[in-house]
Amino acid sequence: MADRRAIMRIQLDAQAKEELDDLCDKRGMTQIAVMSRLVGWFVKQDAIVQTAVMSSLSDPELSRLAKQMLKRIASGGK
């Protein structure tokens, strides 16, 4: 059975669009390929990483998160 796929649209400001274009040119990838990989990676992350990526943490919270993640990396944990 073929993979089911969904096509979605995103809205970017002009600066983000230019930077995405540059990234795609540097990597030799289409915008769809880049966005598909990013979303695929993002949804597999735990809630802490997702929250950090979405910039919904304050600076003190981000600092604590960074320390926790460094400890996790140093201990070889996921």
d(CA 45, CA 65): 14
* pLDDT for 25 beyond 90: yes
* pLDDT for 77 beyond 70: no
**Residue in the block written with tokens 């600076």:** 59
Q: What is the pTM of this model?
A: 0.66
Average pLDDT, the chain: 88
Tokens of 39: 């979303």
